[in-house]
Structure 1
């Protein structure tokens, strides 16, 4: 049996238990310290790195009695980041103890401020714990490097699961109660930037009986947020245009799409933060007051994506628009500022065929008068 020393996110016991597929109460953990090492945040990431630092001390936990299966699961979870176990001596209340610790095999990543477990737990603990469910769906067959490459999307989907827990009305529809759905099996046959999960389950029918076992698949992406900038003084809106692979894959005669500003909600962001960031990136504008339009599933029979749509008050002077987008994300975006009446005509002609934009324009047409300045 091995003894493993953890200094970072795996000191969060709920996360460690998810990785090991064990109950938290079954884990034998001992506080420990590794001398002459420091733990610091990795720049731009939600996890830390450890590096030699004479005189410093890395605080952490030792997991005792690590058997082959637990070792294999931990190797898988850590493996995509180029980490490997190294022998060290740690200090415990009972004295020095031999242990192993995951250390980077290649060049150390760029680090910043000193790592703080409590700070990480407050902001990332629950998200990272849920993300471990998706990471370990690939165990043992999927290359762990795939998980590392797509980990930010995994975090974004975990954050979406947390938002999805918010209470929602059920006055007409059947309320979902504990035990209404019995999951029999789950797998993830495809995982890249997006993912596909497959389920075998049964659920309560409207007559109270159980449905037969059914097999369904869901296309996984992160939640998204859209915003339609509106200038009340000019009664004009800002629309963006870009090439879209969906129409291309369908064989549409027109593959450039007129849309609202939109983006995936990054882990740790709110939908409001997302649309303000995207407005700068895609159109170079700063948004004023945000008005919530709707929140909705565009295709609940097949996709997990949930969209938060907003209309935002904004100053759209002559000359607004032009080219934008992030080169790092291969974005090629053109912005148009048009009268609201022109945008509504584009819905009628079919030139606007983007559902979030249509919903936002219809909401704006309904609420336009209360947003406009008094004559």
Structure 2
């Protein structure tokens, strides 16, 4: 059995329990301090560093009774984020105790302000805990360094999961109740920027019986948000155009796609914040009032992606349109300001074949008369 001194994020017991795959109530923890050290926030990150600082005390938890499997799981989790193992002596109410510690932050990460566990817990605690579940799906076979490259997308998917847990309506469809799905296996055979997960489960049938065991796979991205800029005074919309790998992979004769402005929802960001940010990045456009159109799964039989679509009021004058996109993300985007009726014609001809844009234009067709303002 081993002892570890944990500081920063792993002092959040739900996260520690997720990493160890143990109930939090089974963990033997005790407040502890490491003399002549301080915990500092890593610059530009949501995790802390522990650094020598004479006269300071780094507060944390002493976790005792760790098994070899516990240590292996902790090493895997921390190793992926650039920390190695050292031995230290910490102070507890019962006196000094020898313990291991994860330190030596990854290179290039400088310390910034003080680490505030309450601020971190309020903003990131649930999100990082949920993401840890995907990190540990790779244990022990996937190299832990892969997790660091996938950190942003795992956090984005975790945020999607937390949003999805909000109660939803079930007036026509079968309400989902505890025990409706009995999962017996979950693996992640592919994981890079996106991921594929495979589930083995049984579920309740409409006739009340349990189904036979089945295996299903889902392509995982994260939630996305789209916005169709609309100028009520001009009765015009802004459409963007870019090359898309989906039509290319299908072998489509036309691989440039006409779309609404869109982007993945970043961790800690709301769908509304996403579309305002993306409008600036993709079209140099500042949006006014946002109108929620729909929220939907574009392909629920195979993809976990959920899309939030908006219409955003904007001034689509002479400066609107043209070239845009972030060079750092390899974006090459052209914006078109077109009359609303012209956009509807493009749906009819098939030149607009992008589902979020079609849905947003159809929503606008129902509502634009009440939104129009005199020129």
Which aligned pairs between 1:1-375 and structure 2 lie closer than 5 A? Answer: 1-104=1-104, 106-107=106-107, 109-373=109-373
Q: Distance in 1 between matches of 2:225 and 2:278?
A: 9
> How far does the alpha carbon of each residue in 1:19-55 deviate from its partner, in whole angstroms, 9 at most, with x for none?
0011111100011111222222222222112222222
Q: SS state of the match for residue 273, structure 2?
A: helix
Q: Distance in 2 between matches of 1:301 and 1:106?
A: 40
Contact 2:247 2:255 in 1 (8 A): yes
Q: Distance in 2 between matches of 1:93 and 1:225?
A: 51
Q: Distance in 2 between matches of 1:57 and 1:149?
A: 32
Q: Distance in 2 between matches of 1:148 and 1:112?
A: 20
Q: SS state of the match for residue 366, structure 1?
A: helix
Q: Distance in 2 between matches of 1:20 and 1:247?
A: 42
Q: CA deviation at 1:108?
A: 5.3
Q: SS state of the match for residue 248, structure 2?
A: helix
Contact 1:196 1:218 in 2 (8 A): yes
Q: Distance in 2 between matches of 1:255 and 1:54?
A: 61
Q: Distance in 1 between matches of 2:139 and 2:107?
A: 26
Contact 2:309 2:356 in 1 (8 A): yes
Q: CA deviation at 1:161?
A: 0.6
Contact 1:51 1:108 in 2 (8 A): no
Q: Distance in 2 between matches of 1:227 and 1:53?
A: 49
Q: CA deviation at 1:56?
A: 2.2
Contact 1:181 1:203 in 2 (8 A): yes
Q: Distance in 2 between matches of 1:325 and 1:45?
A: 25
Q: Distance in 1 between matches of 2:281 and 2:11?
A: 37
Q: Distance in 2 between matches of 1:94 and 1:108?
A: 37
Q: Distance in 1 between matches of 2:328 and 2:140?
A: 32
Q: CA deviation at 1:361?
A: 0.5
Instruction: Point out the more displaced range, 96-105 or 274-283.
Output: 96-105
Q: SS state of the match for residue 124, structure 1?
A: helix
Q: CA RMSD in A?
A: 1.2
Q: Distance in 2 between matches of 1:300 and 1:111?
A: 43
Q: CA deviation at 1:112?
A: 1.9
Q: Distance in 2 between matches of 1:107 and 1:191?
A: 25
Q: Distance in 1 between matches of 2:266 and 2:182?
A: 31
Q: Distance in 2 between matches of 1:126 and 1:6?
A: 18
Q: CA deviation at 1:373?
A: 1.3
Q: CA deviation at 1:105?
A: 5.9
> If the length of structure 1 is used for normalisation, what is the TM-score?
0.98
Q: SS state of the match for residue 211, structure 2?
A: coil
Residues 205/286 of structure 1: CA separation in 2 closer, same or farther (3 Å cut):
same
Q: Distance in 1 between matches of 2:79 and 2:120?
A: 21
Q: Where in structure 1 do 4 or more consecutive aligned residues deviate above 4 Å? A: none
> If the length of structure 2 is used for normalisation, what is the TM-score?
0.98
Q: Distance in 2 between matches of 1:199 and 1:106?
A: 34
Q: SS state of the match for residue 341, structure 1?
A: helix
Q: Structure 1: any 5+ residue segments left out of the alignment?
A: none
Q: Structure 2: any 5+ residue segments left out of the alignment?
A: none
Q: SS state of the match for residue 16, structure 1?
A: helix
Contact 1:298 1:307 in 2 (8 A): yes
Q: CA deviation at 1:116?
A: 0.8
Q: SS state of the match for residue 100, structure 1?
A: strand
Residues 271/231 of structure 1: CA separation in 2 closer, same or farther (3 Å cut):
same
